[in-house]
Amino acid sequence: MTLEILAPLPVILDGRNVDLRPGQRIDLPADKAHRLLSRAPGKARLVGLEPGTRIEWESPIFGRVSGEFLAMEANGDLAVFHPRTDALAMIAPAWVCATSQAGG
């Protein structure tokens, strides 16, 4: 998953101290990206998702859910089609566990 850093962010990656800078993009495995987004809210955002991408997220109400990514909102939330409610839903980027291209 690709993240864009929004604020200075010191992290440990592969056992090394790394200072991430605003504007920097970094590719991380989904579990590490999820961890960074949840531990540093507002300091990084998910980028590179195309409409139609299937995403999987951990919902506090429904548990693990998979649906279609529709758009990124200005506040960073993700607009998705929620398969359990058959409606548009807004989810926090930190909930995303995995992504895959539609049909893949």
Tens of pLDDT, residue by residue over 11-54, are: 998 899 999 999 999 999 888 888 898 888 889 988 888 999 99
With tokens 């139609």, the residue in question is: 52
Dihedral sign for Cα atoms in the order 90, 34, 3, 47: negative
Structural domain 54-100, CATH architecture: Roll (2.30)
CB atoms under 10 Å from CB of 104, counted, come to 6
Angstrom distance (rounded) from CA 100 to CA 29: 13
| pLDDT tens digits along 42-53 | 899 888 889 999
Contacting residues for 17 by C-beta, under 8 A, at least 6 apart: 10, 11
What pTM, to 2 d.p., does this model score? 0.74
| Sign (positive or negative) of CA dihedral 25, 55, 34, 28 | negative
